[in-house]
Amino acid sequence: MSVVIRQPGVVLTDHLFQVPLDHAAPQGEQIEVYAREVVAAGQERTELPWLLYLQGGPGGRAGRPLGRDSWLDRALEEYRVLLLDQRGTGRSTPATRQSLPLRGGAAEQAAYLAHFRADSIVRDAELIRRQLLGDQGRWSLLGQSFGGFCTLTYLSLAPEGLREALVTGGLPGLRSSAADVYRAAYPRVARKNSAHYDRYPQDVEAVRRIVEHLATAPARLPAGGLLTVEAFQALGLLLGSGNGSDVLHYLLEDAWIRGGAGLELSDTFLGGVESKLSFADGPLYAVLHESIYGQRSVDPGATGWAAERVRKEFADFDAAQALADGTPVRFTGEMIYPWMFETDPALRPLRQTAELLAQHTEWADLYAPQVLAANEVPVAAAVYHDDMYVDTADSLATADAVRGLRTWVTNEWEHDGLRVSGGQVLERLIRMARGQL
């Protein structure tokens, strides 16, 4: 029986679905996918259109609502919302360092996780749609970041299930390889670094001082992780959100404390760093990240740690050289590197599995350009100008390739605009999809 919970203004209902691990073998092994239904209080028995929400990531569970918070307040004015824990995340059959050994060794784990990309997520959603709405029912789709990537896969594989699609910060390059993605990303991250140091010029010296210390004495984090120079640079992931530069600055403010042996990195700082860098809450983000760009028709080879390979083309991210030259040390961004599977305890047991996935070839295509060119589903997308996580040029090229897709290009919001805009981003996309703007 489904569990029903009431919060101020909303009613939450649990749903658990059985889906095939491999949709090409529907009678084979089954896994569980969890979803949470959210409806406005008093509307539980009202016939409302459904809105499926696909979270960013990959490997991120759906948000846990606290009443009518964030964009949900606008959505619940007219929709019954389904928050999907994509396979392997949240309350769906988990895929972590603790559960994956049940599959066997690294080879078995990698073969299992090869079924956890956008195409499988979309096919899960289609099974769920038919169970909740019937074969002829259609629902609206809201995709944030990687959820937008999944939306383009949905429009490619099963457009008949959709009445409208809304995308925020997540129009992928349909023909971009993993290397292409990172070759475009490093210059965007460099610009975010420059903007941060313009806002907080005192952080230039603060960062250099920390890097100089870590270069000779990597620090142990509270849960056992290792803070190296490269790991510290990975805090640049923060710079793509609306207040990320401020969060980073305040973190740096707490870096040092005087102890018995003199100045040392403070527990406050190390705990804060760990909370930003640890993948304990979402290991699939690291394990599967580069595989989301794999498509055999674009690049039949392996993704092969593309972020690491391409980084060598951008010498200005070399911290040691920056120290030698007296220039600002640059943070990196949304990049996954093989050393992360050594420094993070949540990832360390998965390092060989991640290596096998990085060397996997012949990933199935995720997008169908001919289907998208003939699209009949209303689609509206927010493209955030100079989005650090998703390339604007790729997004606009994809928008041109999808028939009827309307874009709103804005620099009012960063990549997290859906969450922080108080419903304004969602409101505009709804109106665009319906031709009201």
Q: Is 145 a catalytic residue?
A: yes
Integer Cα distance of 149 and 118 in angstroms: 7
338: left (phi over 0), alpha (psi -120 to 50) or beta: alpha
Dihedral sign (CA 344, 350, 356, 357): negative
First to last CA, the chain: 43
Integer Cα distance of 286 and 288 in angstroms: 6
Q: List the catalytic residue out of 92, 145, 156, 395.
A: 145
DSSP string, 235-259: GGGGGGSTTHHHHHHHHHHT-EEEE
Integer Cα distance of 53 and 139 in angstroms: 10
Integer Cα distance of 326 and 205 in angstroms: 10
Token pair, residue 127, equals 């099974």
Token pair, residue 211, equals 């890097």
| β-bridge partners, 166 | 142, 380
Residues whose CB is less than 8 angstroms from the CB of residue 264 and which lie 6 or more positions away in sequence, other chains included: 256, 257, 258
Q: List the catalytic residue out of 85, 203, 415, 421.
A: 415
Q: How far is CA 390 from CA 142, 257, 383, 421, in A?
A: 17, 38, 9, 19
Q: Is 387 a catalytic residue?
A: yes
Q: List the catalytic residue out of 119, 203, 299, 387.
A: 387
Beta carbons of 228 and 211 less than 8 angstroms apart: no
**Which positions are annotated as active-site residues?**
145, 387, 415
